[in-house]
Amino acid sequence: MAGSALLLAVIGWRLGAGQIGASLRGADPQWLLAGAVTTIVALAVSAWKWQLLLRAAGVEAPVGGLFEAYLVGQFFNNVLPSNVGGDVARGHLIGTATGSVARVAGTIVGERLIAGLALRSEEHTSELQSRQYLVCRLLLEK
C-alpha cells in the first residue's frame, strides 16, 4: 500500500497534480465506473480460468487467492517494462502458497500458449471475414 502511494506521488509530481486533477474532473464518471467494472470482471474470469488449469495440473487454489495474485501481477505488469514480471509475481505467490511451484509455472506457460492460440485464431477469422467482405464488394460493384 505504501509502495502504491509512493508511486502515485511520484507520478503526480512528474506530471503535475493540477494536470491530473483537471483530467479526472473532465472524465465522465460513468465511463470510469464502466472501465473499473470491466477490469474487475476480466480479472475474475482470468482467475477462474487459471483455477481450471491449476485443477487440471493437480493443484488446488481458491479463486479468491488467484484473483488477489492477478491483482499483484497487474501491479507488476504496470510498473515493470514487460508483462513477464506479473506472471512471475503471481506464479511465486500461488506456487509458494500451494507448494507446487513447477506445476503453477507450467499452468502460466500453458495459459500464455492458449491465449496466443486464441489470438491467432481470432486473427485468422477476421482475415477470412475481411476477404469475404472484399469479394462481395467486388462482385457487387460489377
Kindly report the three-state secondary structure assignment for every residue of 94-135: HHHHHCCHHHHHHHHHHHHHHHHHHHHHHHHHHHHHHHHHHH
pLDDT at 101: 95
137, pLDDT greater than 90: no
- CA gap 14, 2 in Å, rounded: 18
Name the DSSP letter for residue 58: T
pLDDT per residue as tens digits for the range 51-62: 999 999 999 999
pLDDT at 92: 96
pLDDT per residue as tens digits for the range 69-125: 999 999 888 888 787 889 999 999 999 999 999 999 999 999 999 989 998 998 888
| Between 34 and 3, residue with greater pLDDT | 34
pLDDT per residue as tens digits for the range 17-51: 777 778 778 888 899 899 999 999 999 999 999 99
Its pTM stands at 0.73
Answer positive or negative: Cα dihedral of 60, 114, 45, 94: positive
Answer positive or negative: Cα dihedral of 20, 21, 26, 30: positive
- CA gap 86, 76 in Å, rounded: 5
Give the residue among 61, 56, 138, 137 at the shortest CA–CA distance from 95: 61
pLDDT at 142: 66
Residues 6+ apart with CB under 8 A from 24: none
Cβ contact 121:131 at 8 Å: no
